[in-house]
Amino acid sequence: MNRVIIFGATSAIAAEVALLYAERGAALHLVGRNSEKLAAVAGRLGSNHAQTTQADLDDLASNERLVGRVIEQLGGVDVAFLAHGYLGDQLKSEQDLGEAEAIVRTNFTSPLSLLIPLANYFEQARGGRIGVITSVAADRGRPRNYTYGASKAALNTYLQGVRSRLYATGTTVTTLKLGPVDTPMTVDHAKNPFFATRQGVARDIVAAIDARKSEVYVPKRWSVIMPVVRNTPEPLFQRLPFLSGR
């Protein structure tokens, strides 16, 4: 597990994950949209030299070539971690197809365009690890974020298929169902005790990938909360504002 590629490496969580792998002495290749932020993340890694590639992961037609290029530059890959996402504007997505499509593109179609070449690589390599951030929002359609949740639910289903397809090769695919995290992406959201820290979440992510877990709630407390949310009968669900409210 010496060669690690992180897609969406400039996100707050991904930067913490990169730091943990760097502390182990891993060779890292960081991919992200903003070159200045990439340089800042790489600079945090100290003496551990990280390669970087600036790329717009929503440029779907370029992603197969991107994956091939960064794998070649790193000399192969042992761990691929996908961390990019877009929460979007739920209310806007209900009126504007463009916003809904942007949410789906970043959260589902873009990861799919990366996972196709990554899965093919690991299938031929006969081993490796893939970790992908999804969300607890995928477990139940809620008025406050159902476009985002639907995109992550599609990704969860796709990852189930990839995981079973690659099982015989010794490749593991870890679905990381994150609850709310205090990051710049949630800066406009009212914080409550359920929000986790980026450092704690990063530790849980690396531990889950290390342990070759299939699906993991991060933090673990969501593994108790979400079955209740998911299995509440709809007539009752719709009468509970803390679940079905905006």
- What range defines the domain where residue 230 resides? 3-244
Neighbours of 191 (CB within 10 A): 10
**What does pTM read for this prediction?**
0.92
Average pLDDT over all residues of the chain: 93
Angle in degrees, 0-180, between the axes of helices 110-125 and 63-74, rounded to the nearest 10: 40
Tokens of 101: 């499509």
Tokens of 33: 């949209």
CATH number, residue 230: 3.40.50.720
Number of domains in the chain: 1
Low-confidence ranges of the chain (pLDDT < 50): none
What confidence score (pLDDT) does residue 1 get? 59
